[in-house]
Amino acid sequence: MKKLMLTTAIAGLALTANAIAQTSITGEIRVTHKAVASETATGTTTTSGRGFGTEQQINFATKGKLNVGGLDYAAGFSIENDGVQTINQFNENTYVDITNASSGTTLSFSVDHIQRNDSDRSAGNIFGFAPSEFSSSGPSGSLMSATPGPGVGQSQSVAVIQDIGKFGKLAYNYAPTLTDKSTTTLTTGSGSSEAFTETNEKSAYEISFVGDLGVKGLTVDYFTSKQNKLAGEAVKAEGQNIGIRYNTGALTIGAARKIWNDNHATTKTETTEKNYGIAYAVNNNVTLGLLHATAENNVATSPAGVETQKLTAIQLGYNLGPVALTVGVARNTDLNGVNGQDSDMIMTRLIGAF
């Protein structure tokens, strides 16, 4: 009898949820071609490489109302495959959000979901490829980072998001065990089902604001994040991202500054990245853009000094209806702060949504 009652209760819960929920399935596919020609510090050796890359993503989302307090809820997850990815295909845009519409407050249990501190949000990058994408695949790495500081937004976390009138959204995001530390974008934790494997990583938090401050055409981004110091590390990881973007008619301009300290046992560094972008919409289908970025790495330990890298890129966006095309040409100077290590890159991307 108890088993029958339990089964009936679960069936009733499922029917109730289906009756008030709205479920949607969307997706995206990306095909990217990259061609790179690099020069070493000697200036006499040139290496080149080229090839295609793909990304596929399917998004499942549902929303409705809870039967408690008139609260709204939204839940979902994405299945993502980057190239030939074999693990962590469910670590993007996984969430359960509970919202009080009257107060504008949302409680989010999620990973890679809420407003977060990554390069694609940089106000200096108006559209197309980010500086970290343009500077990858060089001969010696890059000072440009996808995530300045701890990657709290890409970790399993709990967040409180508050609407600030018509000015924007303020959020506090907390990860009890940071599975995406420092400036990487790869998770270091592991687990299965609802269990997890504890690592040496500590907790981290991120405070953010994204909004227009009540000014039409304006976008302001502010992120600051910190992670508790790991055992044996010289410093703790922390980062900051401040950006501003303004659109007036066909013209959009933007600038951003990102600062982060890596948590490393032997090398204490502070990297400052600045991005500047301008884009012009020629018509409804064609957009042209210019992107310039610099990164300075201040090394405190021996040999102390400042390493500098620069990047300049021109981008073209073309709307083909159901498919969007982006083409970018970039020049990197002193990759990873090494004098004379340069590269030229051409990237082309087709994006289709369904």
For the chain, give the mean pLDDT.
Answer: 82
Residue 236 located in a structural domain? yes
Residue 29 lies in a domain: no
**For the residues 113-134, what does the mean pLDDT come to?**
84
User: Per residue in 38-48, pLDDT tens?
Assistant: 887 766 667 78
Q: Is the pLDDT of residue 10 over 50?
A: no
pLDDT at 93: 87
For a pLDDT cut of 70, what percent of the chain falls above it?
77
Confidence of residue 304 (pLDDT cuts 50, 70, 90): low
The total number of structural domains in the chain stands at 1
Q: What is the pLDDT of residue 305?
A: 66
Assigned domain for 292 exists: yes
SS3 (DSSP) at 316:
strand
271 inside domain = yes
Q: List 274's β-bridge partners, or say none.
A: 257, 294
Take residue 202 and report the two structure tokens written for it.
């500590």
What residues make up the domain containing 138?
Answer: 59-190+200-345
Q: What pLDDT shows up at residue 148?
A: 82
Tokens of 178: 């940071």
pLDDT of amino acid 16: 46
pLDDT at 2: 40
Terminal-to-terminal C-alpha distance of the chain:
46
> Is 39 among the domain residues?
no
Check pLDDT > 50 for residue 11.
Answer: no
Neighbouring residues of 84: CB distance < 8 A, sequence distance ≥ 6: none
Distance CA 147, CA 346 (A): 23
Average pLDDT over residues 261-286: 84
Flag whether 7 is in a domain: no
Residue 121, φ and ψ in degrees, nearest 5: -90, -5
pLDDT for res 118: 73
Q: How many C-beta atoms surround the C-beta of residue 22 within 10 A?
A: 9
Distance, CA of 289 to CA of 326 (rounded, Å) = 11
Let me know if residue 49 belongs to a domain: no
CATH number at residue 209: 2.40.160.10
State mean pLDDT over 84-101. 79
Which tens digits make up the pLDDT trace of 174-195? Answer: 988 876 433 333 333 333 334 4
Question: Is residue 254 one of the residues assigned to a domain?
Answer: yes
